[in-house]
Structure 1
Amino acid sequence: MSLDISIVLPYWQVLLKGLGLTLAFTSACAIVGSLGGFVLSLLRMSPSRWLKALTTLYVEFFRGTPLLIQLFWVFFCFPVVFRVDVPPYLSVLISLTMYMIAITSETFRGALKSISSEQHDACIALSLTPHVKILYVIFPQALLRAIPPLLSNVVSLFKESALISSVGVADLMFVGQGISNSTAHPLEFLTTVGFIYFLVAFPLTRLVGVLESNFLKRFSY
């Protein structure tokens, strides 16, 4: 079987539409999941044993189970357990966001631990409220130090998002599979889909290295 990429050209708009949906899901879940991960990392450092145990259980569960199982559970089991209809798009948003919260909380927890005790002492000396301390002192420093692993998490989420095609969401993978089945040219279309994923993910992975070698060394403290 020969590879004829010209077969793909008439379908490029459909593939780009699928890519747009994939990027939309990835961006929305990455932003909400990162904010939620920061909050969860603060809760995990709480002096309350019960709160620490519950948040740790959440993180270990979502990091220790396949994302596909989580996606299927939300899609198939939520309607049964909560008696509420969950559309495919909403089930994808819920499952990807919950997964992102779990993995980014570990990223932020490591960043928070790297902040020196002098920073906390200075906040106490200035009589800053906990809200002001977290928002204007702790969060900016934690975000700065967490940028490279956060970008890595986003790349992982982008690649894992190919699983959402399994619940019928017309993302890039779903569109590519559909076209390859209808045209009987899986080699061309699945190769193209894989190449598109690579074109998006590779610059982000390179950006992580650039940030680590230049930006963070200059501004971190």
Structure 2
Amino acid sequence: MENIDFFFVLRAWRSLADGLLVTLQLTVWANVIGLVAGFLLALISSSRFKLLRIPARAYIDFFRCTPTLVQVIWFFFCVPMLFNVFWTPLFMGLLALGMNLSAFNAEAFRASIQAIPQAQLDASVALGLSPWTRIIFVVLPQATRHAVPVLITNAIGIFQQSSLVALVGVADLMYQGKLLSTQTYRPIETMTFLACFYLAVAIPFSRLAAYLEHRSERFLGA
């Protein structure tokens, strides 16, 4: 224990900062994909038409019921062979994370859409609003407000799961940490630092999600 030195991790801040930038890029863009595609999937999976609803439900079930690690590896190794496309590892990792998050966000949006009072939807129809106008100005704002706590929780999860792309060669924070650990033979300090960093980022957002959920419950109760 006397040989443990955490200060060497700080001396390697440049490589860790490069990895952190990649992790933040993955997290931000995966959330952009997850929010947009998740809302569209929620609408499609609630459709009256089976030809639309069944594929959307199958997509959601697949990404929700299979491990994220398997999805990342499948995209990295199988997509190039099956479809003859060769994207960068960063883009492949982003695609896998974004599609995974969209499935979880779709369920959050779907539950929120179902919570919208039918009277409001009927009123929008009576006012002569077009379907897309109703979606944008009636459904989307209310569904987003009710789903925010779950969306934040899902965003935290994808931030943590972004570390999985290190296994396929994406130079994110975890990848740089593993590299530093191997080069310096100091896995205890490096992995402890990474764990504390992920924890320090996740805890404030988890508290924010709990606070917003509490506010939402009080608003609905009122």
Q: With structure 2 as the length reference, what TM-score do the two structures score?
A: 0.95
Cα distance in 2 between the residues matched to 1:218 and 1:46: 29
Q: Post-superposition shift, 1:62?
A: 0.7
Could you say which residue in structure 2 is the equivalent of 1:171? 172
Aligned-CA RMSD value: 1.6
Cα distance in 2 between the residues matched to 1:89 and 1:119: 43
Contact 2:89 2:168 in 1 (8 A): yes
Q: Post-superposition shift, 1:18?
A: 1.2
Q: Post-superposition shift, 1:218?
A: 4.6
Deviating more after overlay: 206-215 vs 183-192: 206-215
State the AA in 1 paired with 2:39: F
State the AA in 2 paired with 1:177: K
Q: With structure 1 as the length reference, what TM-score do the two structures score?
A: 0.95
State the AA in 1 paired with 2:8: I
Q: Post-superposition shift, 1:217?
A: 3.7
Mapped pair 1:185 → 2:186: yes
Contact 2:149 2:209 in 1 (8 A): yes
Distance 1:150 1:166, change over 3 A: same
Q: Post-superposition shift, 1:45?
A: 0.7
Could you say which residue in structure 1 is the equivalent of 2:156? 155
Q: Post-superposition shift, 1:183?
A: 0.3
Structure 1 segments of 4+ aligned residues over 3 angstroms from their partners? 214-221
What stretches of structure 2 of length at least 5 have no aligned partner?
A: none
Could you say which residue in structure 1 is the equivalent of 2:70? 69
What stretches of structure 1 of length at least 5 have no aligned partner?
A: none
Deviating more after overlay: 172-181 vs 9-18: 9-18
Could you say which residue in structure 2 is the equivalent of 1:197? 198
How many residues are aligned here?
221
Q: Post-superposition shift, 1:219?
A: 8.4
State the AA in 1 paired with 2:119: E
Instruction: Give the secondary structure class of the aligned counterpart of 1:115.
Output: coil
Contact 1:144 1:216 in 2 (8 A): no
Q: Post-superposition shift, 1:13?
A: 2.8
Deviating more after overlay: 110-119 vs 12-21: 12-21
Contact 1:145 1:220 in 2 (8 A): no
Counterparts of 1:67-106 in structure 2, within 5 Å, are: 67-106=68-107
Cα distance in 2 between the residues matched to 1:153 and 1:171: 20
Contact 1:152 1:208 in 2 (8 A): yes
Contact 2:35 2:105 in 1 (8 A): yes
Q: Post-superposition shift, 1:86?
A: 2.1
Q: Post-superposition shift, 1:110?
A: 0.3
Distance 1:135 1:8, change over 3 A: same
Contact 2:33 2:99 in 1 (8 A): no
State the AA in 1 paired with 2:159: F
